[in-house]
């Protein structure tokens, strides 16, 4: 899992740079090598956004979790993605935690190889 997730982390950094114009830091690897954090110093999805007091638990940039999960599923990796810190909730940085769950095996219909 560590080698696969390492490649996934590298591809994720490249995608953030290409599509959002930012370069996240990959850090806080777990001892087992199956989990890491993406640290965003600047989150472009949070620019010009202010959460109302009655929605202070909203994870406004949670769209990124689905994008990351879906992109890695396309390369046969199941991951858990969650926000740990968010600048919109007063944290200094936005931290997205990614954990490798399993390698997805392709199940092709009979005769379609």
Structural domains in the chain, CATH included, are: 2-46+56-103 (3.30.1380.20)
Per-residue pLDDT, 81: 93
Tens of pLDDT along 99-108? Answer: 988 888 876 5
pTM attached to this predicted model: 0.81
pLDDT exceeds 80 at position 113: no
pLDDT digits (tens, 9 = 90+) for 64-97: 888 888 888 888 888 999 999 988 888 899 999 9
The residue-averaged pLDDT of 30-45 equals 89
pLDDT at 111: 63
Q: Please give the DSSP secondary-structure letter assigned to residue 110.
A: T
Question: Following DSSP, what letter does each residue of 2-58 receive, concatenated?
Answer: HHHHHHHHHHHHHHHHHHHS--PEEE---TTSSEEEEEESS-GGGTT----GGGTT-
């Amino acid at each position: 899992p560590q080698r696969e997730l390492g490649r996934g982390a590298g591809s994720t950094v490249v995608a953030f740079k290409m599509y959002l114009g930012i370069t996240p830091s990959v850090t806080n690897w777990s001892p087992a090598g199956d989990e890491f954090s993406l640290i965003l110093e600047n989150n472009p999805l949070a620019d010009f956004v202010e959460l109302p007091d009655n929605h202070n638990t909203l994870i406004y940039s949670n769209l990124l979790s689905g994008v990351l999960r879906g992109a890695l599923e396309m390369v046969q990796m199941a991951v858990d993605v969650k926000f740990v810190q968010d600048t919109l909730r007063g944290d200094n940085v936005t931290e997205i935690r990614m954990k490798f769950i399993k390698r997805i095996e392709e199940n092709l219909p009979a005769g379609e190889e």
